[in-house]
Structure 1
C-alpha cells in the first residue's frame, strides 16, 4: 500500500516492516495500559528512529490487544460483573454490587462515545493536527501536573466497592479527554480516580474495568473501517504481528502496574510524563523532531 491514506483512513503502518511492527506493538502494548499515553509513544518512537508514523488507525486497532490483556487479567471481575448483572436483570434485583458496577461502567463510557462520534472526522483524518508533537508535548505536561496534584492533595483511602454513580460519571468525563493524543486513557481515568480519593491499586482496577467498553468499541470500529478500506494481505499480516506483540506487552504492563501501585505512588509516572513533554516541545522547537 503505497499511499498512507486509504478511504480517508491513516494507514501509515503499511509502510513498516515486521521488525518495526514488533517493536511498535510492544511499545503500544505497554504504553496503552500505563498512564503514559500510547498515542504519544506511537508518534515519538517512530519520529526518533526515523520510521514512518504508523497512523491513528494502528493506534486504535491495537486497543484490541489491550482489550485481550485486560479481560484475561481481570477475568474473575469480568465474569462476576457479567453474571451478577444478568442475574440482577432476570430476577429484577438491581441492588447488587456487580449490577451497580456494570451500570457505572456504562455511564462512564457515554462521554467518550459521544465525544468520539463528534470528533471522529478530525481524529481519524490523515495528518490530523491533533497528532502533532506540539499537542502531544503540551498534553503530556498537563497530565503530569494533574497527576501530581492528586498525589499532593488527594487522600487515597476509598475502595472500588465504595464508588458511586457520580464517581463513574466524573471518571467517564475524564476518559473522554483521552481522545486528545498525549492525554492517555488509562492516565486520565487513573488521575480522576485518584483525585476522587481511591486507593492507588483500586484506582487502577477501576480505570481498567471502566475502559473495557471504550477500548472494545474503538478497536472494533477501526477493524471494521480498515476492512471497508480494503487493505491488502501484507498490511493485514503486519497488524496481526503487532497485535500479538501488543497483547503480550499489555498483559505484562497490567501485572506490573497493579503490583507497583500496591506499594508505590504514581510519582515516577509524573516525572516521566513531564520529562517527555518537555523533551518533545524542545525537540520540535529546535528542529530535532518533526
Structure 2
C-alpha cells in the first residue's frame, strides 16, 4: 500500500464510520474505483480500531457512569442511574454477535468479491437510504435514550445485525431503528455510537485471532498511521454530527446515499 492509499482509506473510514452512509461499503468501493489492490481485513481492522478509540474517548465520561451504574444495579438487583441504558447496549450487541459468528466466512469471502460487493453495496445504499429517510420523516421525536427498554434494544440490535451486509451502514440502520421507535435524532445517534463499542471490540478480537493464525507479515507502519488518522477524523465527525443532527435531520445523508446509488447503477450497467 502506498502512503496515499493509507491516508485516503483512513480519512474515509473516519468520516463514514459514524455517519449513516456505510464505512465498510466505502472501504470496499475505493479499491474498485481506483483499481487498487484490496487493502485486506488487517488494514480494515486497524482503521476500525482507530474509530473505536475515537468513540471511547468522546464518550469516556458516559462510559464510566454507565459502567458504575451497571455494576451498582447488579449489586442492588434493581435499576440504578443509567443502568438501563448500559443493559440496553449489552443486549443490543447480542444479535450482531451471533450473526457475525454464523456468517463470518460469507462476509469475509463472497461478499468481498469485487462485482458481488459492488452490486450488494448499490442495492443496500439505495434501499436502506430510502428506509432511513422514511423513518426520519414520519417518526415522532419524543423519547430520549434513557427510555430504551429491553425490547427496544433487541429491535435495534437485530437491525444492527443486518449491517453485516456491505453498504447497509451500521450507524445508519441502528439510527433508522431508533427513529422507528420514536427516539429523538440525537438519542438515536448516541445509542448507535455506544453500540459501536462492544461490536467493534468483538469484531476486532475475531480478526486479530484470524491474523495470528494466518501468521502473515503485518505492515505495522501502515496500520498505525491508518489507525491514528481514522481516530482523529472520527472524533471530529462524532462531535459535529451530534451537534447538528437535530437541525439537519437525516435528509442530507439520504440524498447522498441515493446519489451514490445512482452513480453505482450507472457504473455497473
Contact 1:38-1:59 at 8 Å conserved across structures:
no
TM-score (norm. length: structure 1):
0.87
1:255 pairs with 235, 239, 251, which one?
239
Structure 2 residue corresponding to 1:108, chosen from 83, 92, 113 = 92
Size of the aligned set, in residue pairs, is 268
Which residue is 1:3 aligned to?
none
| Residue aligning to 1:78 | 63
Q: Does 1:240 align with 2:234?
A: no
Specify whether residues 87 and 30 from structure 1 end up closer, same or farther in structure 2 by C-alpha distance, changes over 3 A only: same
Give the superposition deviation at 1:73: 0.6
Partner in structure 2 of residue 38 of structure 1: 23
1:106-160 CA deviation, whole Å, 9 max, x = no partner? 1111110111011011112277349610000100001111011112210112111
Task: Trace 1:192-211 onto structure 2 (pairs within 5 A).
Answer: 192-211=177-196
Secondary structure of 2:82's counterpart equals helix
Q: Is the 8 A contact 2:122 2:264 kept in 1?
A: yes
Q: CA RMSD in A?
A: 1.7
1:150-197 CA distance string (max 9 Å, x none): 122101121111111111110000000000000011111011111111
- TM-score scaled by length of structure 2: 0.94
Q: CA deviation at 1:252?
A: 1.3
Comparing 194-203 with 53-62, greater Cα deviation is found at: 53-62
Kept after mapping to 2: 8 A contact 1:146/1:191: yes
Give deviations 1:216-257, integer Å, cap 9, x for gaps. 111222123223222324x22211111111111111111121
When residues 137 and 126 of structure 1 are mapped into structure 2, their CA distance, relative to the original with a 3 A threshold, is closer
Match of 1:52, SS? coil
**Does the CA contact (< 8 Å) of 1:61 and 1:223 recur in 2?**
no
- The answer for unaligned runs of 5 or more in structure 2 is none
Equivalent residue in structure 2 for 1:218, among 171, 182, 203: 203
